[in-house]
Amino acid sequence: MKNINKKLQILLLLPLIAMQLNCGSSKNATANSGKVASWITTTDETSKLKKQTDLAFSSETNSNQTIEINPAEKFQTIEGFGFSLTGGSAQAIIKLDKPKREALLQELFSRKNDAIGLSYLRISIGASDLNEKVFSYDDMPEGQTDMNLEHFNLGPDLNDVIPVLKEILAINPKIKIMGSPWSPPVWMKDNGSSKGGSLQPKYYEVYAQYFVKYIQAMKSHGIVIDAITPQNEPLHPGNNPSLLMLAEQQADFIGNHLGPAFAKAKIKTKIIVYDHNCNKPEYPLTILKDPKANPYVTGSAFHLYEGDISALTTVHNAFPDKDLYFTEQYTGTGTNFETDLKWSVKNVVIGSMRNWSKNALSWGLANDENYKPFTPGGCSTCKGALMIDQNQNIKREVGYYIIGHASKFVPEGSVRIASNISGNLYNAAFKTPSGQIVLIVENDGAAPETFNIKYNQQQTTTTLNAGAVATYVW
């Protein structure tokens, strides 16, 4: 009798299950209901990440050039888009009155209303050149060392970077954070200076513990460091602070010291190598070919002040099981909105995505009206995504829109899918975790381009001005 009752219950439930399945499929149909939303930024600045009138898919055909999206062909999973929260950025933001600061951080890091949903931050381990002064987390009087790191502390970061990070994490607890040092403590170096020089091998083990202490100290403040690079721009010892670290030295440091130290301390933070320009793919390849270093390395990071973005694919093809990251590109005072918008969206956002990068980061998030602070000898021409002046006026610079065209629409967990480059229309396409399709397009030509977006045997036609950037969502 009990079995008969169970069968009756199942039979009665079947229509209800079918209704729920149909509801689920209609929900997906709504997400791809034939309407295409779009946001455009133009080089004359009349439209900045501005929502346009919706487009519509149809079965009509024409002879226009066509970008066709193929969601069946999948590439890398995206970890995020964002900036470096430099010490100077944190200083500029923390000086804002609390209501204004809270509103700004919501705009930057939430996914509500008109927010741009930044999902990845890079921070400096110790000072970068966009701090007001040089420091490490274990500075000692000249001639003294601290082999047991008894004097280790987070120093000036406790006043700005850490408080701002805590406010950001309250908005987006899942934001990814990468740490990169510009220099070890001076007493570990062979030239006794914050600028240039090399890490002495006798301090490799101590420096590995320095990273361990850093990750543990940040965790004690509720800040999880998802990844680190052993050195920012290891082939650029002319910055202040900076360090020369050759590929063989980095391989030795990771394979024999940093990797084992992380394993012993049960630290899950990813180790990402290189963190420098696309002109030297042989640098990360040297480390990835090292049998001791390789097991500890998650991937390689790149900048694009020299070289070509295709260097990422060169490394991917040699080591397809290792990830790629794009971690820095600045916009400077010597160029204009049009030039930076076109070049950076084409190369940093679309270029990095089409070459297997899991993220795309621009350089500083914020600075004051004089592009300060920066260290003596640091970058005096680096333009943040935000300029915050002494009267607390906030100007959104070109970097805000470069990254915003991706971060606002492509959340963590999205997957890049196939799309063809058509003429001057550079593009990258994604499928988000909620099932939306996102297409970012930059018209690299000198004239407006009319084109089709084709998806699932239907298409829509639109026009994009010369140099303009658009994000399409359906």
Cβ-Cβ contacts under 8 Å for 159 (sequence gap 6 or more): none
Residue 221 lies in a domain: yes
Per residue in 68-102, pLDDT tens? 999 999 999 999 999 999 999 999 999 999 999 99
CA–CA gap between residue 297 and residue 307 (Å, rounded):
23
Catalytic position from the list 233, 412, 442, 449: 233
Catalytic position from the list 79, 328, 412, 449: 328
Per residue in 287-302, pLDDT tens? 999 999 999 999 999 9
Residue 1 lies in a domain: no
Per residue in 390-434, pLDDT tens? 999 999 999 999 999 999 999 999 999 999 999 999 999 999 999
pLDDT band, residue 234 (cuts 50/70/90) = very high
Domain coverage including residue 187: 80-412
Residues 369 and 395 in one domain: yes
Radius of gyration of the chain from its Cα atoms, rounded to whole angstroms: 24
Residues 337 and 387 in one domain: yes
Q: Hey, CA dihedral for 249, 157, 239, 179, is it positive or negative?
A: positive
Residues 184 and 95 in one domain: yes
CA–CA gap between residue 275 and residue 297 (Å, rounded):
13
Helix (H) or strand (E) holding 397: none
Give the CATH number for residue 53. 2.60.40.1180
Residues 55 and 165 in one domain: no
Residues 360 and 428 in one domain: no
Give the CATH number for residue 110. 3.20.20.80
Q: Residue 94: its pLDDT value, please? A: 98
Residue 11 lies in a domain: no
Residue after which a domain boundary falls, among 412, 428, 461: 412
Residue 122's Cβ-side half-sphere holds a number of Cα atoms within 13 Å equal to 32
Per residue in 344-374, pLDDT tens? 999 999 999 999 999 999 999 999 999 999 9
Per residue in 422-449, pLDDT tens? 999 999 999 999 999 999 999 999 999 9
Residue 28 lies in a domain: no
Q: Does the annotation count 167 as an active-site position?
A: no
β-bridge mates for residue 332, sequence order: 382
Residues 211 and 318 in one domain: yes
Residue 117 lies in a domain: yes
Residue 156's Cβ-side half-sphere holds a number of Cα atoms within 13 Å equal to 17
Residue after which a domain boundary falls, among 379, 412, 445: 412
Per residue in 125-145, pLDDT tens? 999 999 999 999 999 999 999
Per residue in 179-216, pLDDT tens? 999 999 999 999 999 999 999 999 999 999 999 999 99
pLDDT band, residue 163 (cuts 50/70/90) = very high
Cβ-in-10-Å burial (0-12, 13-18, 19+) of 21 comes to exposed
Q: What is the largest CA-CA distance in the chain?
A: 89
Residues 336 and 309 in one domain: yes
Res. 16: pLDDT tops 80: no
Residue 140 lies in a domain: yes
Residues 164 and 296 in one domain: yes
CA–CA gap between residue 335 and residue 356 (Å, rounded):
28
Main-chain dihedrals φ then ψ at residue 105, nearest 5 degrees: -65, -35
Residues 66 and 143 in one domain: no
Main-chain dihedrals φ then ψ at residue 366, nearest 5 degrees: -155, 155
Q: Is the pTM of this model over 0.75?
A: yes
Domain count for the chain = 2
Residue 91 lies in a domain: yes
Residue 167 lies in a domain: yes
The DSSP code sequence of 412-474 is TT-EEEEE--BTTEEEEEEE-TTS-EEEEEEE-SSS-EEEEEEETTEEEEEEE-TT-EEEEE-
Residues 100 and 214 in one domain: yes
Residue after which a domain boundary falls, among 412, 445, 460: 412
The residue to which tokens 């359906």 are assigned: 474
Percentage, residues of the chain above pLDDT 90: 93
Q: Does the annotation count 205 as an active-site position?
A: no
Residues 48 and 97 in one domain: no
Residues 49 and 99 in one domain: no
